[in-house]
Amino acid sequence: MTTENTAPVEHFVDASRQTGAIWGLHCKDGWVICDSAIYEGTDVMPFWSTREAAEIHCVDEWSEFAPVAIPLEEFVDDWLVDLANDAVMLGPDWGDDLSGEEIEPRELAEKFVLQ
């Protein structure tokens, strides 16, 4: 399930392929996870295609977090499988206001494999 505009996801896939990494926010207590704005009772884990895009969010309640690179192959082969099993949605390249598309892990995995 995704929103109708897939351009941000396509950009996320292309940019991540170029760098070979996905960026998440991590601290001693774990990874950033948000409540879905679309699906009630669902968690969303935001990821970014660049360190700079992730780092923008390390302020206020997330000031203790830091961007951490996840190798693309590990993200696709391991992370997306685990997140799908846990029914966690993904927020690829969310903007400054922490909004954007929410996509299922399996759907994102298909985009990495098929494009």
Length of the chain: 115
| pLDDT per position as a tens digit, 53-99 | 999 999 999 999 999 999 999 999 999 999 999 999 999 999 888 88
Contact 47, 19 (CB under 8 A): no
Return all residues near 67 (Cβ < 8 A) that are at least 6 apart.
Answer: 23, 24, 25, 48, 51, 54, 55, 58
pLDDT at 2 over 50: no
